[in-house]
Amino acid sequence: MKFTRTEIPDVIVCEPKVFGDHRGYFMESFKADTLAEFLGYTINFCQDNESSSTKGVLRGLHYQINGFEQTKLVRVIQGSVIDVAVDIRKGSPTFGKHVAVELSAENKKQLLVPKGFAHGFIVLSDTAIFSYKVDAPYSFENERGLAFDDASLGIDWQLNPDEFVLSEKDTQNPTLEKAELLDYNTNYYE
């Protein structure tokens, strides 16, 4: 597995070694000790999630608070998406900045989105199957969102806004200025 820090160093692109031949391919999509060696700490993933979406579906930007913060390791099994992580840690040198990476079944890249980041994606292909690991369970009471179209974030979702397909909930999320944020000085990995 190759790990590359992005322009926000806590957000990491993970690229598995893919072994292919006339039968297809094989890869290790996750290996706990390899990731821990790179990070210098262990992430205890407790749940795997999967969603299926059609072109233009925009899910996000989501995060959790009050001890339910989540690290996510995300990948695409079918299709392609633009995956986005926004730093929502007050006091962070990269506060309000984002990383956007194309994840696809073809490139097999994964994105490690740590605690302290809002996360979302938009589907570029006709359909996409999106899979991700989390290190904390979902909590309805502690789920929060950030406006996907907050101009201060400057996110290029790469599709025309008239193609966006959103849940009612995701159209109601506050801007970064009004959102309930996290603190940069919190150590989530003690």
- List, by residue number, the catalytic residues: 62, 132
Query: Strands, DSSP E only, in the chain?
Result: 2-5, 12-15, 18-21, 24-27, 47-54, 58-64, 72-78, 80-87, 89-90, 98-104, 110-113, 117-123, 127-134, 143-145, 182-183
CA distance readout (Å), 57 to 44, 125, 176: 29, 10, 22
Within a 10 A sphere around the Cβ of 145, how many other Cβ atoms? 20
